[in-house]
Structure 1
């Protein structure tokens, strides 16, 4: 198990995070400047926390109380930087071999040829980084980090310099890596789709802290607060008042829609009658329906965007007391007709898809 419990204070910013992971892929998701890369650097030994502890399967990397801070070369951590950090004056072969320079030549050659094949780099051994595409450079950086068989693999924004096609190919390759690398993989991203596709768990960062950490589906479907909801793309949020709680069934009055909504309580959150809450739903979970029933309502389109496979609609309105609502729905083209601004339709918010937060 990789366990991290660290604090690092800088002028105008502090990082204080605690989490652990098994031999799996974990994504650190958050905006720029929230401490994602700093966390990786502390694990790799490139930056020293002010206090705390980092351990890997019982081996202590860092312990401020005991005065332990292992040098990076003793941690067996592979780190792929955002800019790849390849040596421009070295060939692909020599770049990959760099981390193995203290091993016998025959062993180095065998390992490099194995990685060339695995990373689809065969035939490029004698090229220089400037002669490679961005995707090829990224694969070389990955091969170099894997060459010495690290226990932990850290990836800092691995897709940021790639186009759509290159990003998709590298995503597939990272998934394939799990077939021959069963270590700990921790990668940084600000893209939810990347985090969800590649990881088993997601840690949501904001301003140097972890707001939520857990199974990716749980983080996406049941954000713990408004900030996590926005960071994970679940920005359809409405203020409400709890009017009834029966076991895991909750009824919430939404003033903006002048209507009750029924939802299923998740995450063991404690709610009581009369409590002010926020309810929300992801845009892709909103459905169109033909009739007004429980959890459905009529709404007018204020913006319509046609995308490749979905229509993205924005709805807004307010009642006589100036309580407003704003919703965005992403609906498959095969599930609904195209609507224009000003048209109305009936929307359904499934009780199973709604989430509630106390803030």
Structure 2
């Protein structure tokens, strides 16, 4: 278990994280510059918070009130940086030894074999593949028997064809050694595949930890909704059993009550058709089309001098079935999501 409740002021940024990690794999999901990497560095002891506490499996790593601040090498926290942080003038074996807390622990042959890098132990980082560099960095972590592994966007710099291969390697490593892991990412697909629970972070502040299913199915605020891929948001008014979505000038009949600041619409809540489906079907006079590899993005705007774009994603197969293109848009009023700001 990891408890992280810290605050730190930087020149133009304020970090305020508060979460409890109970599952084996936690995703820290947020946009660039949201404070994800700073949070990991505080847990690892690379930066010192102004206040708060960090407790790992009952051991206090940091406590401002008790004046406890363990050195990084005392924390038993493994940190895999995005660029692996290997020394370019050290061999694979020398890089692994450089990470040893106990420099007298000479026999690392077993670990090099386990990580399948013994045969390249005398090579330098620029002489080995990206996967071998990653295994070298992981081996350097493993020799110190960490209690938790911190992954700072380890796949973001990789080409697409390498990403899945190396991600799979890391997952095998985590499962084999049963390591509790925090993955920092801005990639929702990556977090969904790897993590059991997720906490979002925006402008330095964390939200509540959620199970993976709950996070992707039930966003509570705009930050969470954007992170799971929702593209459409609007303020609203309700009058005479209708909700008026101000961003697009659209009215939908509804008997629901909405408590919140913003309405979000998931793609699956919208249906394009050649015929009206129900009383909420809206006739589309014109639209713009953006074609992706496997889908099409239909962009509807009744008057771009007044309203914002409404973006509707549809599969290519679904779009082709519409023959001359969509004529009606139907929004499922039961699938509208009411969100808080934040």
Give the TM-score band, short-chain normalised: 0.7 to 0.9
Where does residue 26 of structure 1 map in the other structure?
Answer: 26
Q: Which has a greater percent of strand?
A: 1
1:143 aligns with 139
CA drift of 1:57 comes to 1.5
CA change 1:96–1:348 in 2 (3 A) is farther
Does the 8 Å CA contact 1:152/1:185 hold for their aligned counterparts? yes
Show the counterpart of 1:76: 76
1:228 alignment partner, one of 216, 224, 229 = 224
Equivalent in 274, 278, 281 of residue 265 of structure 2: 281
Matching of residue 304 in structure 1 with residue 300 in structure 2: no
Cα 1:296/1:262, change in 2 over 3 Å = farther
- Give the match for residue 193 of structure 1: 189
Partner of 2:110: 110
Asked whether the 8 Å contact 1:135–1:162 carries over to 2, the reply is no
CA distance, structure 1, for counterparts of residue 194 and residue 285 of structure 2 = 37
Please identify, of 19-28 and 275-284, the stretch whose mean Cα deviation from structure 2 is larger.
275-284
RMSD over equivalenced CA pairs, Å: 2.9
Provide Cα deviations, 1:311-342, integer angstroms capped at 9, x if missing partner.
222222259xx8735322222223331779x9
Summarize deviations over 1:166-190 as a string: whole Å, max 9, x none: 1121222233234213222112122
Q: Contact 1:4–1:53 (CA<8 Å) still a contact in 2?
A: yes
Quick one: distance in 1 between partners of 2:280 and 2:213?
A: 23
Deviation (angstroms), 1:104: 4.1
Partner of 1:327: 310
Segments of structure 2 that go 5 or more residues without pairing to the other structure are none
CA pair 332-181 structure 1, distance change in 2 beyond 3 A: farther
Distance 2:263 2:120 in 1: 53
**Within 2, Cα distance between the matches of 1:336 and 1:75?**
55
How far apart, CA to CA, are the structure 1 residues paired with 2:153 and 2:225?
21
TM-score (normalised: structure 2) = 0.86
**In 1: Cα distance, 2:334 partner to 2:193 partner:** 22
In the other structure, the counterpart of 1:38 is: 38
The answer (yes or no) to whether the contact 1:239–1:276 under 8 Å persists in 2 is: no
Normalising by structure 1, we get a TM-score of 0.83
